[in-house]
Amino acid sequence: MFYAEKINNLTVYCSDLLSDLNHCFTTRLEVESFSPNIIAKAWNCDENNIIHPIQTHSANVKFSEIGVKDYPDTDSVIMTNPEQMLYLKFADCTPVILYDKKANIGAIAHAGWRGTTQRIVPKTLQKMIKYSHSDVCDIYCIIGPAIGGCCYKVGEEVINGIKSSVRDYKDSVISKSDGIYVDLKGVNSQQLLEFGVPKENIDICPFCTSCRNDLFYSYRKENGTIERHYAIIKLKN
């Protein structure tokens, strides 16, 4: 379940499934422009160990490396080192945090419609399991704030891409009188279930970024805003 918490007077959201991982989804409350350094400070992370990839709506997954700051053309990063803090930026696209409790490794994936269609989350999971040899039952998956099936009206290219990315899309592709809507959080959750992640290991944020534009940024609702909220993780020692 998601709950609000304060980190240095900033409101963030967390999942109670991830008590073993430093993690949060930031909001737009209390800040003009958010800096991840605030969270790094609270989690005792050196500024030099903050990493963030250049997100390009790809399905490229990389492992973080100590001393490497540049992750070009990367939309999912797997962390194996507790010294580093990782963040990715979002406004409507789906943030997915993956955590392998047994091996203590974690990842954040950026799953917009392109990433979701290219199955970036199962791809990340596959790489994590190959690295740790953990069982899929040891993986926890947190699907963060994203535009909901209530607001995400899409065209044919998106519908076809989404339909080919999962076996069962009946709950995630929604026909309404004015067009077809897609629930990206639902599609990503379905991909995880079809991969074998137990349902009780998956937590889905209830907020739609467009409906709750007071809490989060929405690229659609705000006509292409450049502002972003963040998904952030740091492994515990």
Name the residues that contact Zn ion, by CB under 5 A.
148, 150-151, 208, 210-211
The owner of tokens 């990340």 is 124
Residue nearest to Zn ion (CB): 208
Q: How far apart are CA 126 and CA 215, in angstroms?
A: 33
Radius of gyration of the chain (CA): 17
Q: How far is the CB of 116 from Zn ion (least distance, A)?
A: 17
- Tokens representing 57 are 């709506």
Q: Which is nearer to Zn ion, 193 or 211 (CB)?
A: 211
Q: How far is the CB of 119 from Zn ion (least distance, A)?
A: 24
Strands (E), 112-185: 139-143, 153-154, 173-176, 179-182
Q: Which is nearer to Zn ion, 29 or 174 (CB)?
A: 174
Q: How far is the CB of 149 from Zn ion (least distance, A)?
A: 8
- Tokens representing 193 are 């279930």
Q: Which is nearer to Zn ion, 116 or 210 (CB)?
A: 210
For CA atoms 180, 26, 117, 192, the dihedral sign is negative
- Three-state secondary-structure class, residue 205: coil
Q: How far is the CB of 205 from Zn ion (least distance, A)?
A: 12
Q: How far apart are CA 52 and CA 132, in angstroms?
A: 23
Q: How far is the CB of 178 from Zn ion (least distance, A)?
A: 14
Q: Which is nearer to Zn ion, 57 or 220 (CB)?
A: 220
Q: Which is nearer to Zn ion, 205 or 208 (CB)?
A: 208
Q: How far apart are CA 69 and CA 90, in angstroms?
A: 20
